[in-house]
Amino acid sequence: MCSTPAGRHWDGSPRITRHPRPLQVAATSPTRLLRAGQSSRCRRCGNRIDLYQRADQRPIALHPTELTATLVPEPCRWHLGGGIAYPHGDGSPWCRIPHAVLCPCRTPLCRTGPHLNAIRRHLAVRTRRLTDTGAFTPAPPTTSSQTAQHPARPVVQMLLCRYLAEHTIEHIRCVAQTRHRHRCPHPVLAPTRPAGTWRLLPTPRRRGQLTLPDALMSVYDLGHLPYSEQLRWRAQRCPQHVAAPGAADLAPAGWQPFDPLLHTAHIRTRLPHPPARPRRNR
């Protein structure tokens, strides 16, 4: 019986050893984020977007792939430098483009040629497919008065963490698959279970990150609910499906770990107005 020499597979081919390379933020990096672009989904159309910071730290959602610069109108061209998104081309034959230009659920921001129109149509078909299969539920349109009352994407605190929700609290939908192989239509917020409380809590700071000025932010706090209820919210399941471990998830839970820099646009400094109570007739 012969033994395999060290550094070789059983068939004699060389064994390649990869040494993991730790990720670090360079001291000279203009951004303090370890990973500059974070993938997400557009809440209107469900298509993939990459979130970057601009030079002034405001976030921008870019289409995930580069495009040929000559096919993109000049005002729509963006480029990345050191993890920061800049609003113009960098002279290379490629450029990035804001998702808002291509989003099939928005009015185009600028005149788009046949190439961009084709991408837009392709994204529209994908939105339709995601909606039909129940993998994506478009966020309900919001008006300015609605935004003042109930944030379209509230920040929720549970299990000692903060998350950015995908929809308003009332529209967060169970992700479980029903017996008919459809996504469960029930909301996670159930009248039979204890609800969360809107509270003003300090905006978190992160060590080694750029920090925001100290401010209180509006948070839907579930921290006082029983642990099992917080787990139910985190798993995004309605009360009927929390006790049905056999029911598979038909969609991923829509929670995004809250990042005070990336999600600045969703920070509200006032509590939402409580819904008006119906008056009794005397």
Which positions touch Zn ion (CB under 5 A)? Answer: 42, 44-45, 103, 174, 176, 184, 186, 238, 241
User: With respect to Zn ion, which residue has the nearer C-beta, 186 or 199?
Assistant: 186
Nearest approach, Cβ of 240 to Zn ion (angstroms)?
5
User: Cα angle at 65 between 60 and 69, to 5 degrees?
Assistant: 90
- Rounded to whole angstroms, the Cα distance separating 111 from 101 reads 9
Cα–Cα distance, 195 to 90 (Å, whole number): 50
Query: Which residue, 25 or 109, is less far from Zn ion as judged by CB?
Result: 109
In the complex, minimum distance from the CB of residue 12 to Zn ion, in angstroms, rounded to a whole number:
52
Taken as a whole, the chain contains a residue count of 282
| Pick 42 or 262: Cβ nearer Zn ion | 42
Non-local CB neighbours of 208 within 8 Å, separated by 6+ positions: 25, 32
Q: Between 179 and 277, name the residue whose CB sits nearer to Zn ion.
A: 179
Q: Is 40 exposed, middle or buried (0-12, 13-18, 19+ CB in 10 A)?
A: middle
Q: Tell me if 155 sits within 8 A of 166, measured CB to CB.
A: no
Looking at the Cβ atoms of 127 and 203, the one nearer to Zn ion is 127
Longest alpha-carbon distance in the chain: 97
Q: How far is the CB of 210 from Zn ion (least distance, A)?
A: 27
Strand pairing category for 84-86 and 48-54: parallel
Least distance between Zn ion and beta carbon 36 (Å): 21
- Rounded least distance, CB 152 to Zn ion, Å: 14
- Dist. CA 116–CA 122, nearest whole Å: 10
| Long-range CB contacts (within 8 A, 24+) of 202-207 | 203/260, 203/267, 204/162, 204/258, 204/260, 205/260, 206/259, 206/260
| Spatial CA neighbour of 154 closest among 145, 165, 140 | 165
Q: Quote the least distance from Cβ 61 to Zn ion, whole Å.
A: 8
Minimum gap (Å) between residue 241 Cβ and Zn ion: 4
DSSP 8-state class, residue 104: T
Q: Which is nearer to Zn ion, 177 or 230 (CB)?
A: 177
- In the complex with Zn ion, the residue whose CB is nearer, 139 or 219, is 139
At closest approach, how far in Å is the CB of 213 from Zn ion?
31
| Residue whose CB is less far from Zn ion, 217 or 242 | 242
